[in-house]
């Protein structure tokens, strides 16, 4: 009955690590994000002009994924 606990413990090491990392990231991201509320708002009400750009597929170049819609949203928000 106690045997399966070994597997649980093994998974637990990573789970504990992930929990700690998540906590640290949550704290840091909140304090660093330049305009968290503005970005969130921009996501909620996407301007009409952005619609066409949203159709542009994500570009993969040398392992870097560029998410164009996110960038467009931020640019428009900053212009405002």
Q: Which residues bind other proteins (CB under 8 A)?
A: 10-11, 13-14, 16-18, 20-22, 24-26, 28-30, 32-34, 39, 65-67, 70-71, 74, 78
Secondary element (H or E) of residue 61: strand 59-61
Distance CA 15, CA 20 (A): 9
Q: Shortest Cβ distance from residue 22 to other proteins (Å)?
A: 5
Using the minimum distance from each CB to other proteins, give the nearer residue, 1 or 7: 7
Q: How far is the CB of 51 from other proteins (least distance, A)?
A: 20
Nearer of residues 41 and 71 to other proteins, judged by Cβ: 71
3-state secondary structure of 1: coil
Choose between 11 and 47: whose C-beta lies nearer to other proteins: 11
* HSE, side-chain direction, 13 A CA sphere, residue 66: 10
**For the chain, what percentages of helix, strand and coil (3-state, to nearest 5) are there?**
70, 10, 20
């Amino acid at each position: 009955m106690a045997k399966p606990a070994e597997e649980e413990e093994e998974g637990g090491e990573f789970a504990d690590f992930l929990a700690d990392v998540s906590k640290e990231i949550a704290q840091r991201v909140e304090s660093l994000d330049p305009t968290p509320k503005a970005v969130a708002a921009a996501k909620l009400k996407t301007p009409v002009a952005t619609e066409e750009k949203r159709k542009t597929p994500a570009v993969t170049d040398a392992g870097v994924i560029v998410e164009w819609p996110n960038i467009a949203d931020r640019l428009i928000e900053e212009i405002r």
